[in-house]
Amino acid sequence: MDAAELGKSRFLNNLFKLSGMSMESRMRHWLMPPKRTLEGADIKPGQTVLEVGCGTGFFTLPAAEMIGESGRLIALEPLADFAERVRTKVLGAGLSHVEVIQRDALNTQLEAASIDLVLLFGVVPFPTLPLGRLLPEMHRVLKADGTLAVWLFPTTAGVPSAIVRSGLFTEIAKKNGVYRYARSSGAQPPRAPA
Ligand SMILES: C[S@@+](CC[C@H](N)C(=O)[O-])C[C@H]1O[C@@H](n2cnc3c(N)ncnc32)[C@H](O)[C@@H]1O
């Protein structure tokens, strides 16, 4: 299925509704506190951050808190149910610097060079987020000095090496299970993305 159709699929919305329960479980909060994982992304107050596939918002509110009101968080999610759930949470918390957009990460429609930090947290590898299309779009929206932060769970499945092979990013560091990459100038053509 084309990723653009994701948000409209009743089957996928129902399926993800079930998995949404585990995304929000107390056990998950206890085993992997979201703030600790987010610390690995080296978020700085005032940044403009794009969170890809925010799901039910496990990372969204803690990330918004770390960015602060001088910054901006764009939480992107194609599934209508999840996007609505996160919107409700954001409204409830009175966070005016968070915007939830129901969109496909392969075609974000965001301005080029407008984002300081992209969070790919718990979203790759995923069939509707092929790296060969996702990475060029993340490279496009990131500022020249922007960073891509990737948290992979439960398996890395060759993603870190595929990101480096793409030629679009270079690895900076790994902390709390989060890989950080600097946006490359893009001078070199991408090499065989996964
Ligand atoms: C395993 S969930 C993780 C959700 C959240 N990041 C978390 O860790 O709790 C994967 C999420 O990626 C979203 N997703 C799938 N394909 C996508 C696409 N093409 N663009 C943006 N998000 C997508 C799904 O709808 C789902 O919410």
The tens digit of pLDDT for each residue in 40-73 reads: 999 999 999 999 999 999 999 999 999 999 999 9
Looking at domain 3-183, which CATH architecture does it have?
A: 3-Layer(aba) Sandwich (3.40)
Residue among 126, 131, 141, 150 whose CB has most ligand 1 atoms within 8 A, to mutate: 126
The SS3 of residue 71 is coil
- Report which ligand 1 atom has the smallest distance to the Cα of 106: 19
List the residue whose alpha carbon is closest to atom 24 of ligand 1: 53
When pLDDT is cut at 50, 70 and 90, the band that residue 26 belongs to is confident
- The predicted pLDDT at position 32 comes to 81
142: closest CA among 60, 50, 78?
50
CA distance 85 to 121: 18
Whole-Å CA distances, 136 to 28, 97, 107? 31, 26, 10
Q: pLDDT digit string (tens) for 74-111?
A: 999 999 999 999 999 999 999 999 999 999 999 999 99
- Report which ligand 1 atom has the smallest distance to the Cα of 104: 20
- Report which ligand 1 atom has the smallest distance to the Cα of 151: 8
Residue among 89, 123, 137, 155 whose CB has most ligand 1 atoms within 8 A, to mutate: 123
Q: Which residues line ligand 1 (CB under 6 A)?
A: 3, 6, 16, 23, 52-55, 58, 76-79, 82, 104-106, 121-123, 126, 128-129
Residue 174 has pLDDT above 90, yes or no: yes
Q: What does the mean pLDDT of the chain come to?
A: 89
Based on its alpha-carbon atoms, the radius of gyration of the chain, rounded to whole angstroms, reads 16
Domain boundaries of the chain, sorted by first residue: 3-183
CA distance 124 to 126: 5
Residue 114 has pLDDT above 70, yes or no: yes
Residue 122 has pLDDT above 90, yes or no: yes
- The predicted pLDDT at position 12 comes to 63
Residue 19 has pLDDT above 70, yes or no: no
List the residue whose alpha carbon is closest to atom 27 of ligand 1: 55
